[in-house]
Amino acid sequence: MTASEVLISEVGPRDGLQNCKSIMPTATKNRWIDALSKAGLREIEVGSFVSPKLLPQMADTAQVVEHAVKIRGLEVAVLVPNLKGAELAIKSGAHKITLPLSVSETHSIRNIRRTHDQVIEEARRISDLISTLPEDKRPHFEGSLSTAFGCTLEGPIDERVILKCAERLMDAGCSEVGISDTTGYGDPTSVRHLIRAVRGAIGAANVTGVHLHNTRGLGLANALAAYEEGITTFDSSLGGLGGCPTAPGASGNIVTEDLVFMFESMGVNTGVSLEGLFEARALLAEGLPEEELYGFTPNAGLPLGFAGAPVPEPA
């Protein structure tokens, strides 16, 4: 059974910017995030708490989080590679923390310098830290199965390894597990299969979100397949910015503008204004003039008479 409403989680300020050569000034990031929220995006991954030596684009994440948490109704998400990152995220007030576990251990070591066992230990320590906080101050803790559909360093990953990683993340205290096509290897059939397999291992309620890339042009097709499997949260990036610096050739998130247009055209409510996204895109282009932006919808414009999905009645 498919949902009549989905959550679009904007990851441009993190996954998008981390792959850019230019460094966006903090004030410009904040203006961009303001515009994204104004467009109706209810969850934005605003940065990652990683070493600024490795990713100088993320050096101001604490300041950005402190700004974003003041925006009413916005779920502020961040990525953390370890306990130290989680401590910084909690201190800054982030509402959601994502810890990536690359099912390709080679990629895990290259990406965050940790084996599977070490990542699971970090997950336990983060979970223990969160449990010491007052209930109303505890961030949502997601474990992400990165490189889930294949790795540019290892190739296909044994499904038994993937399912074991999912089980271990939940056992370590994660609130849920997301499935990530870090390298753009997925196709609609494999997306359907892996969602069913992971849900079979840890329960459907614990698998609600996917992070898909458009590296080979299958991003929207894969998102539709995930939606038809009951997934309700979809990561995307304004202008299609992004990729993974430690996975060669892993370029291109799904374009937020195109993803929103697809769902709204289908009558599925996103709560996001396409006109608002176009305004945010203009700010992005101004802030990163040397970066190429992607997307069919912003270039073609909206069809004559396009109204989008009906807004649900208040409960």
Kindly report the number of other CB atoms within 10 A of residue 288's CB atom.
Answer: 21
Q: Could you tell me if 147 and 180 are in contact, meaning their C-beta atoms sit under 8 angstroms apart? A: yes
| CA 256 to chain CA centroid, nearest Å | 11
In the prediction, which pLDDT does 312 show? 67
Half-sphere exposure of residue 148: CA atoms within 13 angstroms, side-chain side: 30
Taking the C-alpha atoms of residue 29 and residue 95, their distance in angstroms, rounded to an integer, is 18
H/E segment holding residue 262: helix 256-265
pLDDT tens digits along 233-281: 999 999 999 865 544 444 589 999 999 999 999 999 999 999 999 999 9
Closest CA to 8 of 307, 231, 299, 293: 231
Give SS3 for 87. helix
Taking the C-alpha atoms of residue 101 and residue 72, their distance in angstroms, rounded to an integer, is 31
Phi, psi of 180 (to 5 degrees): -120, 125
Rg (CA), the chain: 18
The residue ranges of every structural domain in the chain are: 7-300
Q: What percent of the chain has pLDDT over 70?
A: 95
pLDDT tens digits along 38-71: 999 999 999 999 999 889 999 999 999 999 999 9
pLDDT tens digits along 130-165: 999 999 999 999 999 999 999 988 999 999 999 999
pLDDT tens digits along 202-241: 999 999 999 999 998 999 999 999 999 999 999 999 999 9
pTM for the model stands at 0.95
298: left (phi over 0), alpha (psi -120 to 50) or beta: alpha
Whether 244 is catalytic? yes
Exactly one of 151, 165, 174, 244 is catalytic; which is it?
A: 244
Return the CATH number of 7-300, one of 3.90.420.10, 3.40.630.40, 3.40.50.150, 3.20.20.70: 3.20.20.70
Q: In one letter, which amino acid is 238?
A: L
Give SS3 for 138. coil
Owner of token pair 């993803």: 259
The helix-helix angle for 116-131 and 105-112 (nearest 10°) equals: 60
